[in-house]
Amino acid sequence: MSKTPLIIALDFPTAQKALAFVQPLDAQRYRVKVGLELFTREGPALIEALHRLGFDVFLDLKFHDIPNTVARACASAAELGVWMLNVHALGGRDMLLAAREAIEAYQPRPLLIAVSILTSLEQSDLYATGLHGTLEENVLRLARLVKANQLDGLVCSPHELTAIKRTMDKDDPFVLVTPGIRPVGSESHDQKRIMTPKEALDLGATYLVLGRPVTQADAPQAVLAAIEASLQ
């Protein structure tokens, strides 16, 4: 059975809870994401445990530091055998280039993507941080920077998908990962630029990140089945 475009964000406080959640899931069908909270507490042992269960892991630590530090961090992540990892595009050209070069020798090489503008931010937040221009203008500028440094893709809000796809060739393999995905009827929580799974996929998303609407559901597998049915 082929994998779905769904990536399940394991936003749990402990490895015990995360591993208990994934036990009923089909590792041949779903990929999982490990973020800052869980990795800070549990470390590489959790990644190894998920690999033993057969899951592809997206290590979502959003590295953003001086080029040498980020390069070493990316190499360490590659040594863990993760399927995908990310950095912040705002780290700039030298940092992006160092990150890419640090993982080139690893086989299989993990996908390296960059975060553009967090989906928890809106226009007023950009102005407060000194970033001028619209959200879309900032995301497009960062997308061009990421592509110029030959990273594999971008993390962006589903609301910027159309604009990004317009700038690419039809067969461009550039990966677009969209958080802020909420099934119909779900709460938005702290996400501000959200969209349903079907809408995001139709606009060109490659992978959809789903967190609390699935992990906090009374029947997670039923929610996943409903989402997959909506994508057909």
At 230 the pLDDT is 87
- Whether 71 has a pLDDT exceeding 70, the answer reads yes
Instruction: Decide if 26 is catalytic.
Output: no
Q: Distance (Å, rounded) from C-alpha 63 to C-alpha 230?
A: 34
pLDDT band (50, 70, 90) for residue 183:
low
Nearest to 77 by CA among 116, 115, 51: 51
Classify domain 6-231 at the CATH topology level: TIM Barrel (3.20.20)
Q: How much is the mean pLDDT over the chain?
A: 92
Instruction: Decide if 3 is catalytic.
Output: no
The least confident of 101-105, 164-168, 179-183 is 179-183
At 184 the pLDDT is 56
- The tens digit of pLDDT for each residue in 196-224 reads 899 999 999 999 999 988 999 999 999 99
- The tens digit of pLDDT for each residue in 108-153 reads 999 999 999 887 888 999 999 998 899 999 999 999 999 999 999 9
pLDDT band (50, 70, 90) for residue 169:
confident
3-state secondary structure the chain: CCCCCEEEECCCCCHHHHHHHHCCCCCCCCEEEECHHHHHHHCHHHHHHHHHCCCCEEEEEEECCCHHHHHHHHHHHHHCCCCEEEEEHHHCHHHHHHHHHHHCCCCCCCEEEEECCCCCCCHHHHHHCCCCCCHHHHHHHHHHHHHHCCCCEEECCHHHHHHHHHCCCCCCCCEEEECCECCCCCCCCCCCCCECHHHHHHCCCCEEEECHHHHCCCCHHHHHHHHHHHHC
Known binding-site residue numbers: 11, 33, 60-69, 119, 182, 191, 211-212
- Whether 171 has a pLDDT exceeding 90, the answer reads no
- The tens digit of pLDDT for each residue in 51-67 reads 999 999 999 999 999 99
Candidate list 17, 26, 56, 65, residue with the active-site label: 65
Work out the percent of the chain whose per-residue pLDDT is above 90.
Answer: 78
Nearest to 175 by CA among 7, 54, 32: 7
Instruction: Decide if 190 is catalytic.
Output: no
At 189 the pLDDT is 46
Position with higher pLDDT, 95 vs 120: 95
Known binding-site residue numbers for substrate: 11, 33, 60-69, 119, 182, 191, 211-212
- Whether 182 has a pLDDT exceeding 80, the answer reads no
At 186 the pLDDT is 53
The torsion angles phi and psi of 53, rounded to 5 degrees, stand at -80, -5
Strand 175-178 and strand 6-9: the pairing is: unpaired
At 128 the pLDDT is 93
At 194 the pLDDT is 58
Cβ-proximal residues to 218 (8 Å cutoff; 6+ apart), any chain: none
- Whether 231 has a pLDDT exceeding 60, the answer reads yes
Cβ-proximal residues to 130 (8 Å cutoff; 6+ apart), any chain: none
Candidate list 3, 62, 165, 198, residue with the active-site label: 62
